[in-house]
Every structure is written in C-alpha cells, then in structure tokens.
Chains A and B, each alone.
Chain A
Amino acid sequence: MIDVKGLVKEYRVRKEHSILRKKKVRALKGISFKVKEGEFVGYLGPNGSGKSTTIKILSGIIYPTRGEVKVMGYIPWEDRIEYVSHIGVVLGSKSSLFWDLPAIDSLKFMRAVYRIPKSEFEARLRKYCDVLGLKKLLTRRVRNLSLGERMKFNFVAAVLHDPQIFFLDEPTIAVDAVSKDDLRQFMKELNKEGKTMILTTHDMEDVENLCRRLILLNEGEILFDGNIKDFKRRHANFKLLKVEVESFKHKRNFMKIVKEHEHKIEANMFSIRVKDWSEAQSLLNKLRRHAELIDVDISNPSLHFIVSSVYRNLKKGEEQ
C-alpha cells in the first residue's frame, strides 16, 4: 500500500551570519520502508528527526529531493489532486474549520470539496458525531469550542470522504485527557474497519494504545522498524526504580547516587534506570540512608522511558 525507497529531502537554509549564502540541510537521508493495508504504524522521532517531512511527502504536500514513493499506486506529489481524495490528513497544528462559523458549516464545505453525495454525507456525519459525542456541538461556532472538540471536528472533516489511508501528524497535541481517550478510541475503530494509519506523535501513550508497529527515526535515518514488543525486548532490558522522597537527610549524597544512573526527576519523584531487581534492591538500600521515602515502585519501563533512553544514549554516543 505504501512503498518508500531511498527517500531523501534536502532543504536550503540561510547560513548563520550571512544574508545571501545558503546551505543544504538533509532532513531525510535515504529512508526506505513499506506499510501494508490495515496497519497502524507509529512513526516516531525527536523534533527535527524528519517525521513531519515524511508525512508531508506522503500526503503530497511537499516534493522530495530524491527517492521513490508509491501510495496505492500513486506518486503523491505528481498525482496529487487525484491521490488526495483517497487519503485523510489530520495535522494537529492546523485546522480545516471556519473559525467564525458553526462547525457544521465547515463539514458542509468539505462535502462540497470532496463531492460527497448528500445521503452518504448525512449517514457518515451521524455515525462519526455519535462516536465522538459531537451531535450537540454541530451548531456551535468553532471559536467557542474547546481545543479537544475542535480536534474531534478536524477528525470528522478528515474522514467524511471515507479515505483508505490516514496520515496523522500529532493529532492529540495539547488535547485534554478525556478528548484524547475519545480520539484514540476513534482511531482504533477506523483501523478496525481496515483503514491504514500512520501516526506521528510525541505522546507514547498514543503509540502504546494504538500501534502494533513502530518506525523510529533519528536525524533523517530509520533507527528501528518493527513490532513494538520486539522493540521493548531489544531496548528494555532494564527496570525502572521509582522513589518518591518526603525529605532528605543528605541531599548531596542522595543526588550523587542517583546521578550514577540514567534518571528522570519530576518534583520529588525520581525514576532511575537499573539493570534488574537485585540492583534495584541494593540501590534502594543506599538511597534510604540519605532520604525518607514515601513511595517505592519497581516496574518495567514505559515506552516513553525506553524511547527517550534510546535517544539519550545516542546523543551521549555522539558527544563522546
């Protein structure tokens, strides 16, 4: 369904301290992958890794510098007008709605854009508004909707023409928890109907809940492409010790021990990477000497922690 071979995208950006001189920046360095019909792929990477660039090429928005892309037999940037009637695109940072008008007006505009027959439009609108709980909001002006509600309407606008593939670029960005759950459920349902989904996000909960396959990008190259379980097996050969501190006895000593391991600090909660249970036990005994702990937890790391750990290690490697 999607076949990408040796995809390269170079941008020309102005050189620092120069008005006229430009330099080439390689956003994608010859990536290749295939996606089968009905797959739900998490396309991940840190900012600037090239994931949005890939989505824009696959959606026909931008031209690549080199490489081959075929989606459902179309070359996105060459056959764009015909091709885009078969895809649905949700860009979390862009809206397709008319700000000043009731949401239903934007959807009617989409009906005209995609030439959707009235009966099909009404049936799909009813169905999707029921699933997302939007029925009562149809006549509300877009400017009076919450961010989550607006994103839900953007989703409806993207599915009304019944596309086969969805390109979702950070669709749950800045959306509240309840709306996020609704949107995840909605994406799941669409995938169950056989739609192919490509999702870029920084929210690992989205990925854990929705995707079976993961493509991990770093600086325009694919780091990993495979099953999420395989990824965890390969990269999560460690445990996460979480301790919540009530008060410190010797803060400097406590921090010294923590800093010997990969860690993350959120307020008085410390997440520390350890090899196994026995290392967790011995570390816990050391930490107890320097602080009063309220809560302790030893668990398998979340996808979020594993992914950020992979990128942190890469960065460390580059610096060394």
Chain B
Amino acid sequence: MSLLMESLRLGFRRVVEYRASFLTGVVVLLFEAGAFLMFWKIIFHHFETIGGWDFPTMVLFLGYDYLFFGLILSIFDSAHYLGDVIRGGGLDMYLVRPRNTLLLHTLKGIWLYSNDIAVGLVFILLATKLGLSVSIPAVIGGVVLTFFSAYLFSIMLSTLSMLAFWLGKGISELLWPFIWGFGDYPTFIFGKLVPFLKFVVPVFFVATGQVMIVRGAESFIRAGSLLGALILAWYAIRYIVFSQGLKVYGGYGG
C-alpha cells in the first residue's frame, strides 16, 4: 500500500513538474471534448434516438470512454512500452528489486494526467443532469467496471509487448486499432462482430458495457463476472509468457 501511495504521489509530482505541458493538454482536451459534444448534439438534433440511445446516453458513453482512456494513459500506460524496455535491457533495474517486476514497472510508469479522468467524470455527471434516469450505484458500478476494464487492457497490452523477448519488438500496437476503432463506438452497431468484441478483444468494456448496466440492459453481476474471468485468463497467459520470456532475456549489454 505504501508503495502504491508513493507511486501515486510521484505520478502527480511528475505531472506538476511539467505544468505548462499539463495545462496545454487540458486546453486541447477541452476543445476535443467540446467538439465531441457538439457533434453528437447536432446528430441528435436530427434523430431523436440512434439504436435506442438518446443524447444523454451518448454523453454517458463518452464519459466512460474518457475515463477508460484517462486510466490507461495515467496508470497503465507503461504496459504499452514494456517491449522497448525488454529490448533495451531496461528490465534489469526492475528484476533486482524485491517486488513483482511487472507491478513495479506499472507503478514506476504512473503519470497522473488526471484531465481525461476529470472530463470523463464531468461527462458522467452531465449525463445525469441532462435528464438520464440512472441509479447512483449503477453509475458507480460502471466506474468500477471501467477501472477493471482498463486493467484488463493493460494486461493484454503488456502480454503483447512481452513478445519482444522473442521477436525483439513488442506488438502491442496490434491492439490499439481495435481499442480506437471499435471501443469509441457502442459495440452493438458492429452486428456479427459483437461476440468477438465482447469475448476476444473485449472493447465492449471500454464504455458500452457500462452504459448498458446503467440503463438496465445488462446485469452488473454478469458483466462483472465476464470481465473478472477475462482478467484471470489474461493474467494466467501473461504469467506464462513472462516466466518463459525471462528464460531467454539477455539483459543490458555484455
């Protein structure tokens, strides 16, 4: 716990260290979020609902979407560049510490860029103010689910990154087109691809699942169990890949 607290403190200090960059990021993000809102406002001006979703539901979706990417970028971002760390022998300095190597790598990589997370939470709040009838526990359940969803994707990203042990380069980039391309839209619009997007590359949990729980179209227990099972499965895969990878790891130089 003290290591987590220390990592969060340092993650925040690193953001504050580059204040100008942080503030620029906030301004850019406000423009981006504003543009998204405008876009959907215009769309819903012409259509009352799309696939049964109205404007407040879409705002809620954007809220969870921002929250997901905020968590990935600020807490789990290191998973993405683990391949470069392995290739450059950078794992040496983690392996000589008496902690879980991957956890330590994640904690050391925390940069608390809270702006995406803040925008996400503001959008979720805004959706309720726009007249979406929701229960507070369901909204909180969605937030919890988003955290674990970001965790699941970080495990998937780090597992693909670890292929650098054999390939010399991680291939976590393979996952991003799915996350960006499918995760940013309600999953049900992809027709026959839905099972794939729910069970194989589960971008359903980027934001769609959370919105469906809030609207009562999906059970929290069922979605949570599926997410939990996926986390366990990917955790086991990552454990095996990492253990085998360490056997061929050469370290830095020499």
Contacts and interface: CB of A to CB of B under 8 A. Distances in A.
Interface of A: 11-12, 27, 48, 50-53, 55-56, 59-63, 77, 80-82, 84-85, 87, 89, 91, 93-96, 98, 100-101, 105, 108-109, 111-115, 141, 169
Interface in B90-136: 90-93, 95-100, 104, 108
B218 to A, nearest CB: 39
A81 B97 CA distance: 7
A208 B217 CA distance: 75
Interface string B1-37: 0110111001001100110000000000000000000
A112 B250 CA distance: 28
Contacts of B228: none
Contacts of A95: 93
A91 B93 CA distance: 8
Ordered nearest first, which 4 A-B pairs have the shortest CB separation?
Answer: A52-B254, A85-B98, A112-B6, A112-B3
Given A52-B253, A98-B108, 8 more contacts: A55-B254, A61-B96, A62-B249, A81-B98, A94-B252, A100-B18, A108-B6, A111-B6
A94 B18 contact: no
Nearest to A154: B93
B95 A51 contact: no
Given A62-B250, A63-B247, A113 B17 contact: no
Nearest to B6: A112
B113 to A, nearest CB: 14
Q: Interface size bucket, B side?
A: 20 to 34
A57 to B, nearest CB: 9
Interface of B: 2-3, 5-7, 10, 13-14, 17-18, 89-93, 95-100, 104, 108, 246-254
28 contacts: A50-B254, A52-B253, A52-B254, A53-B254, A61-B91, A61-B92, A61-B251, A62-B246, A63-B246, A77-B246, A80-B95, A81-B99, A89-B96, A93-B252, A94-B90, A95-B93, A96-B93, A100-B18, A101-B13, A101-B14, A101-B17, A108-B6, A109-B6, A109-B108, A111-B6, A112-B2, A112-B5, A113-B99
Contacts of B248: 12
Contacts of B253: 52, 93
A247 to B, nearest CB: 44
B110 to A, nearest CB: 11
A115 B97 CA distance: 11
Contacts of A56: 92, 251, 254
A77 B96 CA distance: 10
Contact of B7 (A11, A100, A109): A109
Contacts of A101: 10, 13-14, 17
A53 B253 CA distance: 9
B246 A105 contact: no
A113 B3 contact: yes
A109 B11 CA distance: 11
Contacts of A96: 93
Contacts of B98: 81-82, 84-85, 113-114
A105 B11 CA distance: 11
Contacts of B89: 94
Given A59-B96, A62-B251, A63-B246, A100 B14 contact: yes
A19 to B, nearest CB: 12
A95 B7 CA distance: 17
A227 B250 CA distance: 31
Contact of B93 (A52, A60, A94, A111): A94
Nearest to A82: B98
A82 B97 CA distance: 9
A95 to B, nearest CB: 8
Nearest to A50: B254
A60 B128 CA distance: 53
Contacts of B99: 81, 113
B3 A105 contact: no
Given A61-B95, A62-B250, A63-B247, A105 B104 contact: no
B245 to A, nearest CB: 11
A51 B18 CA distance: 40
A87 B96 contact: yes
A150 to B, nearest CB: 14
Max chain B C-beta neighbours (<10 A), residue from A12, A91, A98, A111: A91
